[in-house]
Amino acid sequence: MYPGGGSVRAGVESFGFPSHFHDTLHEFPICHVNALLAGALDTEAKDIDADAGQANGDKSNLTQTDPGKAESKEGSPDKEDQSMETSTSTDPAADKEREEREKLREIRGQEKKVKMEAKRKKLAAAAAVLEGRNADGLVIASRFHPCPVLLGLIKFLAPSRPFVVYSQYKEPLIECYTKLREQGGAVSLRLTESWIRHYQVLPNRTHPMLLMSGSGGYLLSGTTVATDTPKTGSTRGEEPAAKRLKLTETTEG
């Protein structure tokens, strides 16, 4: 998961993993998580040529209307201007340069189309993996508030799978802890520190080391469980019947 326009793999690529290892890494923008959960994510191919042709048509219309406006403002051109226009229009160097610019524009358009198609295929593959909701684990280390991120991504985990959330401060993790306890679906919730605290033991006093780093952060960990709630009608039908009290009559002799 990544925010913004694209993921950053500089840290992963520096390890020198083989190419087949990178095939198992899937990228998915976090801004599309709600659309994926709602089933409204569109991963189909779009016609890029039609949009490009429409944009080029608009540009050509602008270029055709601009000379007319210039003529209306400046009046009728002189004979010298007409001779200069005819000489420049018949210049082979200018025509060749124009053709090269058009070819370069077409090549760039094709490259952009190929990149967008590859990005769409990666997005569709990642969405297909997430739609199964059978992930084996979840690790969240983000600069955003962890509560909405955790509540959205924990739905993709299978039951009995671990998850862990990192935050520099414990207050956001306490909020995550409270939300998970309210909605259910997680057990063995633990809020711990992410580093070992070193103590200095002296005669008659013991305290943490004075040169310790105080920005280690905190971790919230837990395990997912299935949250299938039975229907109310079935629970009522399975309730045992109330026992009847047996009354015994006593007769006095």
Residues 6 or more apart whose Cβ sits within 8 Å of residue 183: 151
Residues 6 or more apart whose Cβ sits within 8 Å of residue 157: 133, 135, 136, 137, 138, 163, 224
What letters, b where the CB count within 10 A reaches 16 and e where it falls short, cover 207-233?
Answer: eeeeeeeeeeebbbbbebeeeeeeeee
Query: 72-99 pLDDT, tens per residue?
Result: 445 555 555 555 555 555 677 888 888 8
Interstrand relation of 205-208 and 199-202 (parallel, antiparallel or unpaired): antiparallel
Per-residue DSSP letter, 224: E
Per-residue confidence in pLDDT tens, the chain, 253 aa: 778 777 777 788 888 888 888 878 888 888 888 888 887 777 776 655 545 455 455 544 544 545 444 454 455 555 555 555 555 556 778 888 888 888 888 888 888 888 888 888 888 888 888 888 888 899 998 888 999 999 989 988 999 999 999 998 889 999 999 999 999 889 999 998 877 677 778 888 887 776 666 567 889 999 999 876 555 444 444 555 555 655 555 555 4
Helix axes 92-131, 48-74, angle to 10 degrees: 140
Domains of the chain listed by start with CATH number: 11-37+107-132 (no CATH), 138-224 (3.40.50.150)
What is the C-alpha to C-alpha distance for residues 223 and 207, in angstroms, rounded to an integer? 34
